[in-house]
Amino acid sequence: MSATSQQLSLSLAVADQPEILGAGAALLRGFAAPVMTDLLESLQGLEAVSAFRHLVTPGGFTMSVAVSSCGALGWMSDRSGYRYVSHDPDTGRPWPAMPAVFQRLATAAAAQAGFTDFEPDACLINRYVPGARMTLHQDRNERDFSQPIVSVSLGMSATFLFGGMERGGKTTRLPLHHGDVMVWGGPDRLRYHGVLPLKDSPHPLLGRQRINLTFRKAG
């Protein structure tokens, strides 16, 4: 067993009980902490290959969140719609491979929340700066809704909005901090979710930014 695998096994053994948010949704506080060094080192390498960029929505609005991707598929948005693509449109090359520590963390977090067969093929990397936000939306560009979403928070804290199956329904506000992991799937897979405008409270390691890793089975 590798050092990283041992760290994840330790995390599973000592982590606080998940905060249950629904039949298929859980919040794992600090779950990513044991592999944080490897995560941040891998993130630097990914950014050097496929830089962050601000995408345009089908409605013509520029997103306040900057994005990149890794894995076999990367999420894309422009005036023609939302979709997954195999190549980075900015470089013409395939998206960088998903680092092993990313894959292991996502699989372990999903298993901790009750999803034992999760094998993500896409990781959307979002970078928030103070004031950036994500409006309420559903993740519905994937082919297999039986697979969960795994979302890892790094850097500055954020307020995550977790709603229901309708955009105008009631939302729960969840503070997410460095190392927290959200998992939702099963009957909760299509719940609306978003992020309130990020407050300017610099993080000791990442400064004035929040990085969110969202793992999905897209293909």
Confidence of residue 9 (pLDDT cuts 50, 70, 90): very low
pLDDT given for residue 15 in this prediction: 53
Least reliable range by pLDDT among 17-21, 34-38, 89-93, 125-129? 17-21
Per-residue pLDDT band at 16 (split at 50, 70, 90): low
Mean pLDDT of 119-144: 97
Mean pLDDT of all residues in 11-35? 85
Q: Is residue 194 part of a domain?
A: yes
Q: Would the pLDDT of 10 be above 60? A: no
Residue entry with tokens 């000791």: 204
In a domain, 189, yes or no: yes
Single pTM value for the model: 0.93
pLDDT at 186: 97
pLDDT of 143 above 80: yes
176 inside domain: yes
Round to whole Å and give the CA distance between 101 and 215. 12
**Residue 4: inside a domain:** no
Q: How many domains does the chain have?
A: 1
Query: Would residue 2 count as lying in a domain?
Result: no
1-5, 108-112, 113-117: range with lowest mean pLDDT: 1-5
Mean pLDDT, the chain, as a whole number?
A: 93
Q: Is the dihedral of CA 95, 129, 148, 77 positive or negative?
A: negative
Query: Does residue 11 lie in a domain region?
Result: no
Q: CATH code at 137?
A: 2.60.120.590
42: domain range?
16-216
- Is 54 part of a structural domain of the chain? yes
Residue 37 falls inside a structural domain? yes
Q: Sorting pLDDT into bands at 50, 70 and 90, what band is 24? A: very high
